[in-house]
C-alpha cells in the first residue's frame, strides 16, 4: 500500500539504505564488546582465572540487582536531559564508544598470580567482580539510548521492521569476529588432546575487537538522524514512579520483555556452555567450538531477506511464536542424541543447531520492531512518551536473561563437579559427568524456547490486525497532540 504523503507518520520516515546500515553499526559495535562476555568470558573465568562457578553465578546475579537501579536511572536521564544539537539519543553512541572499548579490554587483563593457586585467588575474584560491574554500567550507557533511538528515527511500521532486521544483522556481524577468536584461543593440544586456552591470542583479539567496536559506534553516530522531535521532560515529584507504573501495566511490553529475557538467556547459555560441551563431551577444538553458534545464526543471512515481508503478511507475533516453537522442538530432539556415541552424535547435533537457528532468528530479527510497537501502544493509550524509561525496562529484563544464563551455566557446571576438577589442575571427566553436561546443554534451552513460544502465542497481544489498528491510532494521536513530528 502506498504511503499517504500528508501523513505525519510519512513525514517522519523515509530512511535511506545508508541510514539502515549506520543504525546496524551501532549494534555491531555493541556486540563486538558484548559477545566477548557471552562467548568468551565464562570460559576465561573458569579455565584461566580458575574462578568458582558458584562465585561467577553469584557475581552475575548481584550485577543484575544493581541493574535494577542503574537501568531506570539511565532511562530517566535520556528522557529528561536537554537534547544536544545532535539529538536526544544518538549522541550517547559517541559518549559510550571509548569507555566501552576500555572496559571490555580490562575484563581480560590477567595480572601475575591470577589463577595460579585456586585456594589463594582472592585478588582475581575482586578484580573480576569490579571490572564486570564496570563493563555492565558502561554497556547500559550505550544500549538504552541506542534502543530508544529506533523510536525517533522513523515512525513507519514497515521501516521499523526493516530497521529491526538491520539491527539484528549488525549484531550478528559484531559477533562473527568473536566466534573467530573463540576458534583461535580455545583449542586442543595436538599431542595429548587436552583442552587449552591461548591467553596471548585471547588478549590480542580482545584489544582488536574493542578497537573495532569504537570505530563502529562512531560511524553509527555519524550516519543516523533523529526525525522525531522530543522535548525534555521537566522532572516533577512522582514522575519516575508514574512512568514506571505505566510501563509495568503494559501487557505488550511486559510480555515482550520476558520473552526477550528468555531469548538472551538461551543465547548466552548455548554460546557459553557449548564451549565446554564441544571441548569435553565431543572432544573437539578450533572451528568446532564456534560451529554451533555459526549454524544457529547462519539462517539470519537467508531470513533477513524474507522476514519483513513475512511479518507484513502474517504478523510479527505470528511468525516469531511459531519460529520459537520450531526451535524448542529442535532442542528437545537434541536430547535424544545422548543415546548415540559422541562421535556419531556430533553431526546430527550440528544439524539440529541449524534447524533451531531457523526458528529463533524470526524473533531475533523482529524483536526491536516489536519493542517499538509496544512503546507506541503505551504512548497511544496513556500519552506517555518516556521512550528511554520504556526501553530501560526491556533492557533490564534482557540483563535478567544474563542472570538466568549465569545460573543455568554455572549451576550445570556445579552439578557435574566442574570446579573440583579444575581445582586439581586437570580437566578430565567421568562418563557420568559428561552425560550430565550433555543433558543440561539440551534440556535447558529447550525449556526456555518452549516458554518463549507460549508467551508470544498466548500473552503478547499485538497480532497483525492489532498492529495495523495501532498504526492508525498513532497517526490520529500525532494529529491531536504534537502536530508535525519533525
More confident residue, 257 or 233: 257
Cut 0.85: pTM above it? no
- Whichever domain contains 476, its CATH number is 1.20.1250.20
Phi and psi angles of residue 87, each rounded to the nearest 5 degrees, phi first = 115, 180
* Residue entry with cell 556452555: 273
What are the pLDDT digits (tens) for 199-224?
999 999 999 999 999 999 999 999 98
Among 90-94, 188-192, 345-349, 408-412, the minimum mean pLDDT is found in: 188-192
Mean pLDDT of the region 4-22: 71
In order, the DSSP letters of 273-289 are HHHHIIIIIS---THHH
pLDDT value for 239:
64
C-alpha cell at position 63: 550485577
pLDDT value for 1:
43
Whether residue 268 lies inside any domain: the answer is: yes
Whether residue 92 lies inside any domain: the answer is: yes
Whether residue 251 lies inside any domain: the answer is: yes
pLDDT value for 285:
82
What are the pLDDT digits (tens) for 119-175?
788 999 999 999 999 999 999 999 889 988 887 888 777 888 888 889 888 988 898
Phi and psi angles of residue 196, each rounded to the nearest 5 degrees, phi first = -135, 160
C-alpha 351/C-alpha 370 separation (Å) is 29
* Residue entry with cell 584461566: 48
Domain residues for the domain of 151 are 16-226+240-480
Query: Euclidean distance between the first and final Cα of the chain, in Å?
Result: 23
Instruction: Specify whether the CB–CB gap between 161 and 316 falls below 8 A.
Output: yes
What are the residues facing 84 on neighbouring strands? Answer: 87
C-alpha 343/C-alpha 282 separation (Å) is 7
Per-residue pLDDT at 322 exceeds 70: yes
C-alpha cell at position 89: 539519543
| Count of structural domains within the chain | 1
pLDDT value for 482:
52
Whether residue 303 lies inside any domain: the answer is: yes
Instruction: Specify whether the CB–CB gap between 426 and 196 falls below 8 A.
Output: no
With a CB cutoff of 8 Å and minimum separation 6, the contacts of 475 are 7, 8, 9
- Going by pLDDT thresholds of 50, 70 and 90, the confidence category of residue 232 is low
Whether residue 10 lies inside any domain: the answer is: no
What are the pLDDT digits (tens) for 357-405?
999 999 999 998 899 899 889 988 888 766 777 878 888 898 889 889 9
Among 4-8, 89-93, 161-165, 310-314, the minimum mean pLDDT is found in: 4-8
Mean pLDDT of the region 102-117: 90
Per-residue pLDDT at 3 exceeds 70: no
pLDDT value for 125:
94
pLDDT value for 273:
92
Instruction: Measure Cα distances from 312 to 226, 275, 307, 374 in Å.
Output: 25, 37, 9, 17
C-alpha 421/C-alpha 428 separation (Å) is 7
Q: Is 180 exposed, middle or buried (0-12, 13-18, 19+ CB in 10 A)?
A: middle
Per-residue pLDDT at 464 exceeds 90: yes
pLDDT value for 134:
94
More confident residue, 29 or 65: 29
What are the pLDDT digits (tens) for 33-77?
999 988 889 889 988 898 988 899 999 888 888 877 788 888 888
Amino acid at each position: 500500500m502506498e504511503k499517504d504523503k500528508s501523513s505525519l507518520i510519512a513525514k517522519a520516515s523515509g530512511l535511506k539504505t545508508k541510514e539502515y546500515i549506520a543504525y546496524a553499526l551501532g549494534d555491531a559495535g555493541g556486540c563486538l564488546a558484548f559477545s566477548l562476555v557471552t562467548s568468551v568470558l565464562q570460559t576465561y573465568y573458569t579455565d584461566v582465572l580458575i574462578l568458582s562457578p558458584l562465585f561467577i553465578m553469584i557475581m552475575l546475579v548481584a550485577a543484575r540487582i544493581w541493574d535494577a537501579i542503574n537501568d531506570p536511572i539511565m532511562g530517566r536521564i535520556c528522557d529528561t536531559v536537554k537534547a544536544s544539537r545532535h539529538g536526544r539519543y544518538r549522541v550517547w553512541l559517541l559518549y559510550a564508544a571509548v569507555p566501552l572499548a576500555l572496559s571490555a579490554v580490562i575484563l581480560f587483563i590477567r595480572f601475575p598470580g591470577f589463577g595460579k593457586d585456586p585456594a589463594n585467588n582472592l585478588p582475581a575474584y575482586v578484580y573480576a567482580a569490579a571490572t564486570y560491574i564496570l563493563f555492565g554500567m558502561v554497556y547500559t550507557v550505550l544500549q538504552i539510548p541506542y534502543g530508544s533511538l529506533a523510536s525517533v528515527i522513523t515512525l513507519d511500521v514497515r521501516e521499523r521492521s526493516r530497521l529491526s532486521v538491520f539491527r539484528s544483522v549488525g549484531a550478528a556481524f559484531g559477533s562473527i569476529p568473536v566466534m573467530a577468536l573463540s576458534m583461535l584461543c580455545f583449542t586442543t593440544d595436538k599431542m595429548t588432546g587436552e583442552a587449552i586456552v591461548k591467553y596471548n591470542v585471547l588478549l590480542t583479539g580482545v584489544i582488536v575487537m574493542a578497537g573495532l567496536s569504537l570505530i563502529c559506534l562512531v560511524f553509527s553516530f555519524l550516519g543516523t538522524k533523529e526525525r522525531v522531535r522530543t522535548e525534555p521532560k521537566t522532572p516533577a515529584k512522582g514522575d519516575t514512579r508514574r512512568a514506571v507504573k505505566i510501563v509495568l501495566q503494559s501487557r505488550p511490553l511486559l510480555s515482550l520483555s520476558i520473552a526477550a529475557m528468555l531469548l538472551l538467556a538461551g543465547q548466552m547459555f548455548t554460546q557459553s556452555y557449548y564451549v565446554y560441551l564441544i571441548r569435553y563431551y565431543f572432544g573437539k577444538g578450533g572451528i568446532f567450538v564456534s560451529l554451533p553458534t555459526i549454524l544457529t545464526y547462519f539462517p539470519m543471512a537467508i531470513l533477513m531477506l524474507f522476514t519483513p515481508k513475512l511479518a507484513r503478511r502474517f504478523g510479527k507475533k505470528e511468525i516469531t511464536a511459531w519460529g520459537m516453537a520450531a526451535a524448542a522442538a529442535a532442542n528437545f530432539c537434541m536430547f535424544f542424541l545422548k543415546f548415540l556415541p559422541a562421535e556419531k552424535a556430533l553431526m546430527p547435533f550440528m544439524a539440529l543447531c541449524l534447524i533451531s537457528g531457523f526458528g529463533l532468528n524470526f524473533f531475533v530479527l523482529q524483536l526491536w520492531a516489536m519493542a517499538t510497537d509496544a512503546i507506541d501502544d503505551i504512548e497511544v493509550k496513556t500519552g506517555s512518551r518516556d521512550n528511554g524509561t520504556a526501553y530501560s525496562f526491556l533492557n533490564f529484563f534482557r540483563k535478567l536473561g544474563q542472570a538466568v544464563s549465569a545460573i543455568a551455566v554455572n549451576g550445570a557446571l556445579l552439578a557435574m563437579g566442574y570446579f573440583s576438577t579444575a581445582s586439581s589442575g586437570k580437566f578430565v571427566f567421568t562418563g557420568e559427568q559428561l552425560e550430565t553436561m550433555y543433558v543440561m546443554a539440551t534440556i535447558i534451552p529447550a525449556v526456555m524456547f518452549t516458554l518463549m513460544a507460549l508467551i508470544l502465542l498466548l500473552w503478547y497481544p499485538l497480532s497483525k490486525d492489532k498492529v495495523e489498528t495501532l498504526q492508525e491510532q498513532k497517526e490520529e494521536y500525532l494529529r491531536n497532540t504534537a502536530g508535525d513530528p519533525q
